[in-house]
Amino acid sequence: MRAFARLLDRLSLTASRNAKLTLVRDYLTQTGDPDRGWALAALTGALSFSAAKPAGLRKAVEARMDPVLFAWSHDYVGDLAETIALVWPSRPGANYEPDLSTVVDALAVASRAEAQVLVEGWLDALDADGRWAMLKLVTGGLRVGVSARLAKQAVADFGDVAVAELEEIWHALTPPYLNLFAWLEGSAPRPDAAAAARFRPVMLAQAINDAVDFVKLDPADYAAEWKWDGIRVQAAHEAGVRRLYTRTGDDISHAFPDVVEALRFEGVIDGELMVMRGGQAAPFGELQQRLNRKTADAKLLAAFPAGIRAYDILADGENDLRALPFRQRRARLEAVLTRYGSERLDLSPLEPFETWAALAARRAAPPPGDPARAEGLMLKRWDSAYLAGRPKGPWFKWKRDPRLVDTVLMYAQRGHGKRSGLYSDYTFGVWRDEPDGRRALTPVGKAYFGFTDEELKRLDAFVRENTVERFGPVRSVRADADFGLVLEIAFEGLQRSTRHKSGLAMRFPRIHRIRWDKPSRDADHLANLEAMLEIMGS
């Protein structure tokens, strides 16, 4: 438990992705089976308990110390599990210090009442960090800033294999992953991945470079289609098993019963998950109502019906189609959807074109309806096989040019990692008319990249020199009609939002240019953004 506690402790305070990968990889190297497998399961969300209830833990603490001192401690610390970990009176030697697998094995067969006794015994034996880690584990929620994807990458690094290879077999594996580690350490063959409706690693597109790529590419070699604004999913239906996966292989079937229900064909389809009504795609914001949920109730399903717009087929019945060229896969996909298509599963149409210039014109002025809200275009070579990862050449994404808006810097916050000494996170605003007729700035977003190191230094100096107020790590900077720094912000989309005072939320905002020259009074007005929202749909 000590090593696991140390790992969680460091992960929870580490911002850098590379450092996190090192921490997880080293842990896997230094820890034996089965503990490392259980730790991996905990990090990837494959292991969760709700054995210990906060109320039960609170009672146990109050039986051991003055409830008033405990209440003051809780007020001070904030987090209940952390408070209990800190105040719990240790009884070294009262119990043996459990390792991770002891905890997992014991809780797997314990009743609620037994679990409470077990947890109290472990709290006696562990130190404060161990208690914290154990409580995080048994109350079901590590929240240490590690995604399943990152954990898998660390496993791939540990075994020196491609993460795609790992993803291909992931769904055939169960904690504590003894066969996985045996394979990665070279003492056993690769685990068998032929499970029904398993995840297949997805093929990703390169961003096209307008300036250099088109001259080398023959338009006759490529098919074009709109790049839909949802999330990439893989839908599998094999031997009676139906699954819906994200592009990283996370199983989200439970949250989308309506979509799973619509998988009537046998095979594996690649497509875009969106909220769809009567064959029309809804803006991304509506899909967000359905994401990151464990389940979906009838009300949510009715309000935000989801569906898949299919653009590729990986398997048809028992036939693996990935080695076939895109042209043939496309024909199979169209045939399948002619038979099994529905309001919840439709076809992503191809956009015919003769020349790159003609396609560029379509991209700049998409036809009304769904294409107007697309993120741009996808280009796929007619002869491309379906390859895992992001091969250079067969597929390109050609994003629409970003929207631009001139804003005024309002607040700055210190960054993390190598930027932690610098004010590198910027909140910016646009003008709006107050009820009393005056113009005032209202925040519309936050950006923390899009500038060079040199520009960052200058921005940091500007923030320090023009600070009006400080709130912890945040500074407000002078921003009014006579003085302020104009930031030209590029963004991909706009949504209505009740969380922001301006009523708007930007997608993927970043600093496009710093307008040291532009007077703050000439920055954009909220009305300009409102107008963009109309075009993009809300």
> Site residues (CB under 8 A) for another protein?
6, 10, 12-15, 19, 22-23, 26, 65-66, 68-70, 72-73, 76-79, 82-83, 86-87, 127-128, 414, 416-422, 457, 460, 472-473
Handedness of CA 348, 349, 354, 360 (dihedral sign): negative
By beta-carbon proximity to another protein, the closer residue of 131 and 171 is 131
Rounded to a whole number of angstroms, the minimum distance from the CB of residue 118 to another protein is 23
Q: What is the distance between the alpha carbons of residues 212 and 174, in angstroms, rounded to a whole number? A: 46
Rounded CA separation 96/56 (Å): 22
Cβ 36 to another protein shortest distance, Å: 16
Residue number, 126 or 166, with CB nearest to another protein:
126
Rounded to whole angstroms, the Cα distance separating 446 from 466 reads 19
Instruction: State the minimum distance, in angstroms, from the CB of residue 29 to another protein.
Output: 11
Distance between alpha carbon 259 and the CA centroid of its chain, in Å? 20
What is the torsion angle, in degrees rounded to the nearest 10, for the CA atoms of residue 67, residue 70, residue 71 and residue 76? 170
Nearest to another protein of 464, 501 (CB atom): 464
Torsion of CA 355, 357, 363, 368, to 10 degrees: -80
Q: Least distance (Å) from another protein to the CB of residue 432? A: 32
Closest CB 41 distance from another protein, rounded Å: 23
Closest to another protein by CB, 65 vs 535, is 65
CA dihedral 348, 352, 355, 356 (to 10 degrees): -10
User: 121 with 131: CB under 8 angstroms?
Assistant: no
Is-contact 191 171, C-beta < 8 A? Answer: no
Cβ distance to another protein smaller for residue 362 or 416? 416
Minimum distance, C-beta of residue 146 to another protein, in the bound complex (Å): 15
Quick one: 24 or 526, whose CB is closer to another protein?
Answer: 24
**Which stretches of 478-525 are DSSP H helices?**
none
Cα separation of 231 and 260, whole Å? 15
Question: Which residue lies nearer to another protein by CB, 16 or 319?
Answer: 16
C-beta of 89: minimal distance to another protein in Å?
9
Phi, psi of 271 (to 5 degrees): -170, -170
